[in-house]
């Protein structure tokens, strides 16, 4: 294609501003899944889709699909999109950039008078942020009929009400979700592309606007783990007689950090995070040996063998610390996700468009999870485009330069327009 397609800047800027207007929750924004904020965001995207003459569909779980008919609607479709829920007091771009980017790409095709060979569907998924319900990829898994029925009984972190309850409140069909009703079929999807802000500093540090993702990390997680020791007087219990939960946790964290350094020295990638760590405020005191620590553990890598290695090490480490310190660990329920490899042909096609259009780009892996992983692990050729982001993600200071966003949307529009295969 010799014609350069430009992203619809007015549309994207208007939609980002609209999201900010109703979801501001200082500091930052909050759009809880299956709540008022997420629903209003879905309504905003639906109205934008209708204005672009897209046909809306909503599945049993409330995921929305906005379709531009191609010249041959019998062909498997291109699908683009993401989610619009946020973490509490998060930023306005995480997830939403993928949905708005899809709409802006379709708008650029409309403006250029291009009707692509394949239909294009912009997907707006529910409940991607597992901060609220302790499960990964709720909306996109439900769209494929893959969500385990027991996930519907999980409580939302703020309301304490179940996922089933929140779905019912919105007039959705949780019983159909529990029965495995599938709206999407891998055989009917030609490829899936998700735009997303980078959630780390690589692109900004390298002064590169767009990243081409090579793989998405999987994980294993313990969200409500406990180390039980024994309370005692800080001056009266000598070291040989102590069962100190904090010192035991210090051993755990120090050893896991050493393992992480070892893995990185081998040229492998992983992340190990203890995002919560606290003693019981009703029991702890200045002059007490701490008898309990509650914590969570989040381990990620795009390499299954590395995840297995860390988990095996963790199991041995817990036993060794229990014997050494006289404590007991209760890790609780394990959750996690499977790593995903991105499509090399889609990666190379986007790289070729970027080179031709003079858009600087770099290949990199994603340490965070995304709905794209569900598609890739269902056998759908899948790809992510990262957009340079100045202040990280999942925080109120999240940033994204609109010119970088429009570069990514321009690449997406060219990919969708040039498909003649």
pLDDT mean over 155-166: 97
**What pLDDT, on a 0 to 100 scale, did the predictor assign at position 392?**
86
pLDDT tens by residue, 350-397: 999 999 999 999 999 999 899 999 999 999 999 999 999 988 899 999
Confidence of residue 186 (pLDDT cuts 50, 70, 90): very high
Q: Could you tell me if 245 and 290 lie in one domain?
A: yes
Q: Could you tell me if 271 and 171 lie in one domain?
A: no
Contact criterion met (CB below 8 Å) for 7 and 104: yes
Return the DSSP state at 237. S
Q: Is residue 2 part of a domain?
A: no
Q: Could you tell me if 188 and 255 lie in one domain?
A: no
Q: Which structural domain, as residue segments, surrounds residue 326?
A: 219-337
Q: Is residue 363 part of a domain?
A: yes
Whole-model pTM?
Answer: 0.88
pLDDT mean over 256-265: 98
pLDDT mean over 176-183: 98
Q: Could you tell me if 103 and 157 lie in one domain?
A: yes
Q: What CATH number corresponds to the domain at position 324?
A: 3.30.70.360
State how far the alpha carbon of 420 is from the alpha carbons of 15, 110, 115, in Å. Answer: 31, 18, 12
Percentage of the chain surpassing pLDDT 90?
A: 93
Asked if pLDDT for residue 56 goes beyond 50, the answer is yes
pLDDT mean over 202-221: 96
Cβ-proximal residues to 320 (8 Å cutoff; 6+ apart), any chain: none
Contact criterion met (CB below 8 Å) for 6 and 104: no
Q: Could you tell me if 158 and 28 lie in one domain?
A: yes
Q: Is residue 1 part of a domain?
A: no
Q: Is residue 129 part of a domain?
A: yes
Q: Is residue 366 part of a domain?
A: yes
Q: Is residue 127 part of a domain?
A: yes
Which token pair is 72?
């041959």
Q: Is residue 4 part of a domain?
A: no
Asked if pLDDT for residue 23 goes beyond 80, the answer is yes
Indicate the number of domains in the chain: 2
User: In the listed set 281, 308, 337, which residue is the last one of a domain according to the structure?
Assistant: 337
User: In the listed set 303, 337, 371, which residue is the last one of a domain according to the structure?
Assistant: 337
Please, what is the average pLDDT of the chain? Answer: 96
pLDDT mean over 69-88: 97
Q: Could you tell me if 180 and 70 lie in one domain?
A: yes
Q: What CATH number corresponds to the domain at position 105?
A: 3.40.630.10
**What pLDDT, on a 0 to 100 scale, did the predictor assign at position 4?**
84
Q: Could you tell me if 180 and 293 lie in one domain?
A: no
User: In the listed set 285, 306, 337, which residue is the last one of a domain according to the structure?
Assistant: 337
Q: Could you tell me if 86 and 183 lie in one domain?
A: yes
Confidence of residue 420 (pLDDT cuts 50, 70, 90): low
Ranges assigned E (strand) in 180-291:
189-197, 210-216, 218-228, 232-233, 271-273, 277-278, 288-289
Q: Could you tell me if 43 and 151 lie in one domain?
A: yes
Q: Is residue 106 part of a domain?
A: yes
Q: Could you tell me if 212 and 223 lie in one domain?
A: no
**What pLDDT, on a 0 to 100 scale, did the predictor assign at position 421?**
43
**What pLDDT, on a 0 to 100 scale, did the predictor assign at position 343?**
97
pLDDT tens by residue, 314-327: 999 999 999 999 99
Ranges assigned E (strand) in 269-323:
271-273, 277-278, 288-289, 292-301
Q: Could you tell me if 357 and 307 lie in one domain?
A: no
Residue 94, judged by CB atoms within 10 A of its CB (0-12, 13-18, 19+), counts as buried
Q: Could you tell me if 275 and 146 lie in one domain?
A: no
Asked if pLDDT for residue 161 goes beyond 80, the answer is yes
């Amino acid at each position: 294609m010799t014609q350069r397609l430009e992203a619809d800047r007015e549309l994207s800027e208007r939609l980002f501003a609209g999201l900010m207007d109703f979801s501001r929750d200082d500091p930052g924004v909050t759009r809880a899944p299956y709540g008022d904020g997420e629903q209003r965001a879905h309504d905003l995207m639906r109205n934008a889709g209708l204005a672009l003459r897209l046909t809306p569909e909503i599945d049993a779980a409330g995921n929305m699909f906005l379709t531009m008919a191609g010249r041959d609607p019998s062909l498997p479709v291109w699908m683009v999109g993401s989610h619009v829920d946020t973490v509490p007091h998060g930023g306005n771009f995480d997830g939403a950039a993928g949905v708005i980017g899809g709409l802006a790409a379709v708008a650029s095709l409309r403006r250029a008078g291009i009707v692509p060979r394949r239909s294009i569907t912009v997907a707006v998924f529910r409940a991607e942020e597992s901060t609220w319900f302790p499960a990964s990829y709720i909306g996109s898994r439900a769209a494929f009929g893959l969500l385990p029925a027991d996930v519907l009984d999980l409580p939302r972190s703020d309301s304490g009400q179940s996922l089933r309850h929140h779905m019912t409140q919105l007039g959705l069909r949780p019983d159909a979700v529990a029965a495995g009703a599938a709206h999407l079929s891998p055989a009917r999807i030609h490829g899936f592309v998700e735009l997303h802000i980078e959630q780390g500093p690589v692109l900004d540090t390298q002064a590169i606007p767009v990243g081409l993702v090579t793989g998405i990390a999987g994980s294993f997680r313990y969200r409500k783990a406990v180390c039980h020791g024994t309370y005692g007087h800080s001056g009266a219990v000598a070291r040989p007689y102590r069962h100190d939960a904090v010192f035991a946790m210090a051993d755990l964290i120090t050893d896991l950090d050493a393992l992480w350094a070892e893995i990185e020295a081998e040229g492998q990638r992983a992340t190990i995070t203890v995002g919560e760590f606290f003693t019981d405020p009703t029991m702890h005191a200045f002059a007490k040996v701490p008898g309990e620590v509650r914590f969570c553990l989040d381990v990620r890598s795009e390499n299954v063998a590395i995840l297995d290695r860390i988990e095996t090490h963790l199991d041995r480490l817990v036993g060794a610390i229990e014997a050494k310190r006289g404590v007991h660990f209760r890790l609780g329920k394990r959750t996690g996700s499977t790593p995903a490899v991105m499509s090399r042909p889609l990666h190379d096609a986007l790289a070729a468009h970027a080179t031709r259009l003079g858009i600087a780009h770099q290949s990199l892996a994603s340490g965070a999870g995304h709905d794209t992983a569900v598609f890739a692990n269902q056998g759908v050729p899948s790809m992510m485009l990262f957009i340079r982001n100045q202040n990280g993600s999942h925080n109120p200071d999240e940033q994204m330069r609109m010119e970088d966003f429009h570069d990514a949307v321009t690449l997406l529009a060219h990919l969708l327009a040039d498909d003649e295969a």
